Amino acid sequence: MAELRIVAGPTGAGKSALAYALAERHGARIISADSRQIYRGFDIGTAKPTAAERAAVPHAGLDVADPTERWSAAKWAEAASDWLDEDATLGRPSVIVGGTGLWLQALVRPLAEEPAMDPARRAAVRAELDALATSDLRARVEKLDPPRAHLGRAQLLRAAEVALVSGTRLSDWHARGSTRPPRNARWLIVDPGPALAARLDARRQAMLEAGWLDEVRVLCDTVAADAPAWNACGYREIREVVRGARTLAEAMEAVRIATRQYAKRQRTWFRNQMDDVGPVTRLDPADADAAHVVDRWFSERTA
């Protein structure tokens, strides 16, 4: 089984641009490991690659789900395995890019099968959990499944749901392991350090200028308010602007805080969850020799 090449790191770090240039130079396909870029129609606020970029470099993992679908780490890992097999058949290199650490971990160290749950009980529990603010939901998960309490809203919902409906913590299910063998992987963790905050501010403004408000206006007319896709960072806040529930300035400040908190959680994950997943190279994209480091990382083999 071929060694995986994974470019990861916090949101806004610059990993997508590095991976794009890398894929363009080496004829690779980019496989997205972003839990929000899977949703059709949610483009600007998820920093999805442009049509021109997707025409120039092949991508997988984008626009593969309806906004109402829920994708687990295991489901994405299964799909990613298929995309990797396609590339192997074509003799084309793959580079996996994203910041959803749990999904990446599920691909490298496959998770155990999750429990079957009664649909009626699950729907009732989900309705109760969906009504909670993220801070309250996190506090709930700190009691139900502490190892997962640092994750994002979608993962918090899943952890609470499984614990309440099945009676067993999701982290315990995953600890049992899978019958699928682990994969060898090589990781490039991209992080600009203190410069990340300014990068996030600039990207947020660029999203507005690219038409984020107009995108959300269209989505409000076509996507149910409880669809999982709305959990993408910033979309609920912008939706409140469209509905007249808060000012744009208030929403952008809320997005600023939420995005920084999300990036902090991602950094924590990529610091603390990298044991036994393969060799790791860490990179500041502003380094003068960043392009050289990336090419060397891509070309070397350790397995």
Residue 91 has pLDDT above 80, yes or no: yes
Strand 94-98 and strand 29-32: pairing? parallel
Residue 233, CA distances (Å) to 13, 164, 230, 277 in order? 15, 25, 8, 27
Average pLDDT over residues 110-131: 80
**Per-residue pLDDT tens over the stretch 133-143:** 888 999 999 99
From 177, 197, 224, the end of a domain falls on: 177
25: phi then psi, degrees, rounded to nearest 5: -70, -35
Average pLDDT over residues 107-126: 79
Q: Are residues 131 and 97 in the same domain?
A: no
24: phi then psi, degrees, rounded to nearest 5: -65, -40
From 177, 195, 223, the end of a domain falls on: 177
Q: Are residues 144 and 253 in the same domain?
A: no
From 177, 207, 225, the end of a domain falls on: 177
CATH of residue 164's domain is 1.10.20.140
CATH of residue 224's domain is 3.40.50.300
- Which has more confidence, 116 or 78? 78
Q: Are residues 158 and 276 in the same domain?
A: no
Q: Are residues 199 and 286 in the same domain?
A: yes
Residue 92 is which amino acid? R
Residue with tokens 């906004």: 67
b/e code 111-135 from CB counts within 10 Å (16+ = b) = bbebeeeeeeebeebbeebeebeee
Q: Are residues 187 and 93 in the same domain?
A: yes
pTM of the model: 0.80
Instruction: Give me the pLDDT at residue 303, please.
Output: 45
Q: What is the DSSP string of 169-221?
A: -HHHHHHT--SSPP--EEEEEE--GGGHHHHHHHHHHHHHHTTHHHHHHHHHH
Residue 98 has pLDDT above 90, yes or no: yes
Q: Are residues 76 and 141 in the same domain?
A: no
Q: Are residues 41 and 187 in the same domain?
A: yes
Q: Are residues 122 and 150 in the same domain?
A: yes
Residue 267, CA distances (Å) to 39, 50, 94, 143 in order? 24, 26, 24, 23
Show contacts of 86-92: CB within 8 Å, 24+ apart.
86/60, 87/29, 88/2, 92/27, 92/28, 92/29, 92/58
Instruction: Give me the pLDDT at residue 152, please.
Output: 73
Q: Are residues 172 and 225 in the same domain?
A: no
What is the number of domains present in the chain? 2
217: phi then psi, degrees, rounded to nearest 5: -60, -45
**Residue 156 structural domain:** 113-177
- Which has more confidence, 284 or 150? 284
Q: Are residues 58 and 196 in the same domain?
A: yes
Give the range with max mean pLDDT: 3-17, 128-142, 265-279. 3-17
Q: Are residues 73 and 190 in the same domain?
A: yes
Instruction: Give me the pLDDT at residue 119, please.
Output: 79
Instruction: Give me the pLDDT at residue 166, please.
Output: 85
Q: Are residues 222 and 119 in the same domain?
A: no
The two tokens of residue 37 are 């870029």
- CA distance linking residue 111 with residue 107, whole number of Å: 8
